[in-house]
Chain A
Amino acid sequence: MSTAVKRVEIHAQRKLREILQAYFLDLDAAAHDPRRRVAWCTSVGPCEILTALGFAVYFPENHGALLGARRLSQHLIPRAVGAGYCAESCSYMTSDIGSTLADSSPLRELYGIAGPPKADVLVYSTNQCREVQDWWSWYGRRGGAPVLGVCPPAHLGEVTSAHVEFVRGQLGRLIEELEGRFGRRMDYAGLEGVVDRSSRASRLWGRVLDTARARPSPLTFFDGVIHMAPVILLRGTTAAIAYYETLLAEMDARVRDGVAAVPGERFRVYWEGMPIWPKLRELSEKFFDLSTVVAASTYCNSWAFEAYDGGDPLRWMAKTSTEVFINRDENTKEAFLEEMFVRFSLDGAIFHNARTCPNNTNSRFGMPQRLRERRGMPVLVLDGDLSDARFFSAAQTLTNIEAFVEQLEERDR
């Protein structure tokens, strides 16, 4: 089916390209400047500490997503498998390791840099999964850079002060370790500034996502996964704040003018789990053709943190990074999803069962069925993967999505 109705372009896209280009060029410059240091960090890791200590911060998960989106993963993963990494372990990790082994990165074509910057230190938080530790360790062993980490308590229901203090203590020790190894002193006033900017960008991002509560929705999940790049890569910078102010103004204007991301919006659905990066365009077009907007998602909301109140910056970091959805127990996750379904007035929910990402898959312990029964709402579980296209069947998935929309139509009759 052809897309007869045109998609309305998001104008901020141009600005996005500019700030990402500047970010990667600066990273490359840092990697080649003997006076500067590069730190690798997980996407919901303690990047504010690294920025405040003067590191240029690189996020390898973004590279994993890029390798998936450009359909390179399936060619690179076998290199990591050959090095002893299971083909069913995190495909961000295996495609990224494969990319290094093959000396092949899309950063060359996209930003004109040779590839990911060499790490002086690798910092992780296991608030999302343990695989990041193994991933960073491969690079640590290979390049000799220290691998440092924070391990918050996992699968939490309520996040207590004791949990937060425990993580805060780890962050304090991380700072001491970095200061000792690299001969730097933390400027805590500077850290407060970074955390404040991080929080402001994150709040603005949350408000951008919230505009999708409008009918018709001004943006989709498929827009969100592109425009979320600054809230990860540029967290703590004024560039991220400026970008989200621009994007929010555009989305607010769309809501005011009734501009729909999916013209003729008939149904509104939720996306739970990781994006299927290699098939993002096909899926986006399928939903567009079906006049169905994927209006909200767990994934995009994972970087919409609570506001920083000006108190202890380490406490804010400890609390927000421990409270993230992926680090919570099944009941808390389920309650969050139910609240989102109501908040965004959704007709149905899609759960992505990502083969290599059990930590960010929530369809394996009956949650879709429980939510369907409680909300009386159709749910669909799609089998796929975040980066490895070999775990994806286009015909089955697209038929599943069409049938899901037919099911929504049946309910509407």
Chain B
Amino acid sequence: MSDPLYVGIDVGSSATKCVILAADGTLLGRHVTPSGFDYAESADKALAQALFEAEGQREDIAYCVSTGYGRGRIALADRRVTEITCHARGAREWSPGLRNIIDIGGQDTKVIRLSEEGRMSDYRMNAKCAAGTGTFLESIALKLGLTLAELDELAVRSRGETVVNSYCTVFAGTEVIERIKDGQPREEIAMGLFRSIAARVAEMMAARDGSVGATGGVVAHCRAMVRALEEVMETEVLVPPLPQHAGAYGAALLAIESARADGS
């Protein structure tokens, strides 16, 4: 038998991420794919690609932890853990001194507070709406006929301080139209949207002390998001090497720990 593999699968509302680690925590393989309609199928696809990269086989999997909204749909999983705990675990491994983690996902945003010992001491999720999430950006980009990447490209060219004040996706769309009508530069409007998310995130933070890290798909794909967070919170925001994979990475680390605890 080959060396045991430890798998983390993060089935998010937009994307499914898979990370495979060796027993010593070495990253062997990873993959990300759209979640689509069938979470089990997308997880299967992400796992197959990650295994290919890791040069491993399914029978080599020693332990698997699933996380994300679709965590309950993964038959392979030995354990299911929320994305809040997994993002905290993953980000902490990459940046041991982190005290605050911001995870901006497609469906929701979480702000996680870690204790000095690195344990999750508090967390908050956004309320039931798209405010402060990737969906907010995607919806408005779609309305403007842009992709998220194009919206980001525009935003990073901004030199002004425009903020889109509305948190509500529908009202923000109206506000954007007003600004277009008023002749505001498109770069400024685009950056204003990222600042709107950053303002929403900042509200969710109970404490501002200690270092801040950001994870999730929006952070991975949008440089403007990190810039907006830094501007609004007036602090440096650390981004781990693979921000979109932080949850899956944390899940894989928990797989190693769980396997040890189980003696498997």
Which residues does A use to contact B, with CB under 8 Å? 1, 369, 372, 378, 381, 383, 391-393, 395-396, 399-400, 402-403, 406-407, 410-411, 413
Contacts and interface: CB of A to CB of B under 8 A. Distances in A.
A1 B73 CA distance: 10
Nearest to A400: B125
Given A1-B72, A402-B82, A383 B123 contact: no
Interface in B110-136: 119-125, 127-128
B128 A391 contact: yes
A1 B127 CA distance: 25
B128 A410 contact: no
B221 to A, nearest CB: 23
A406 B83 CA distance: 11
B206 interface: yes
A393 B85 CA distance: 20
Contacts of B80: 1
Contacts of A402: 82
B133 to A, nearest CB: 11
B82 A383 contact: no
B122 A399 contact: no
B108 interface: yes
23 contacts: A1-B80, A369-B206, A372-B122, A378-B122, A381-B124, A383-B127, A383-B128, A393-B128, A395-B69, A396-B128, A399-B82, A399-B83, A399-B125, A402-B82, A403-B82, A403-B84, A403-B85, A406-B82, A406-B85, A407-B120, A407-B122, A410-B119, A413-B119
Contacts of B119: 410-411, 413
Nearest to B70: A395
Contacts of A383: 127-128
Interface string B81-123: 1111100000000000000000000011000000000011111
Contacts of A403: 82, 84-85, 123
A378 B206 CA distance: 13
Main secondary structure of the interface of A (DSSP, over half): helix
A413 B120 CA distance: 12
Contacts of A400: 125
Given A1-B72, A391-B128, A410-B85, 13 more contacts: A378-B122, A381-B124, A395-B107, A396-B125, A402-B82, A403-B82, A406-B84, A406-B85, A406-B120, A407-B121, A407-B123, A410-B119, A411-B119
A265 B99 CA distance: 31
Interface residues of B, number: 20
A291 to B, nearest CB: 15
Contacts of B206: 369
A394 to B, nearest CB: 10
A411 B84 CA distance: 15
B69 to A, nearest CB: 5
B263 to A, nearest CB: 18
Contacts of B72: 1
Contacts of A413: 119
Nearest to B85: A406
Interface string B59-77: 0000000000100100000
B163 to A, nearest CB: 25
A391 B127 CA distance: 10
A369 B113 CA distance: 14
A354 to B, nearest CB: 13
B154 to A, nearest CB: 31
A382 B81 CA distance: 19
Nearest to A411: B119
Contacts of B124: 381
Contacts of A1: 72, 80
Given A399-B83, A399-B125, A410 B69 contact: no
Contacts of B85: 403, 406, 410
A248 B111 CA distance: 43
B123 A399 contact: no
Give 5 nearest A-B pairs by CB, closest first: A393-B128, A403-B84, A403-B82, A406-B85, A410-B119
Contacts of B108: 396
A399 B128 contact: no
A399 B81 contact: no
B23 to A, nearest CB: 21
A407 B108 CA distance: 19
B137 to A, nearest CB: 19
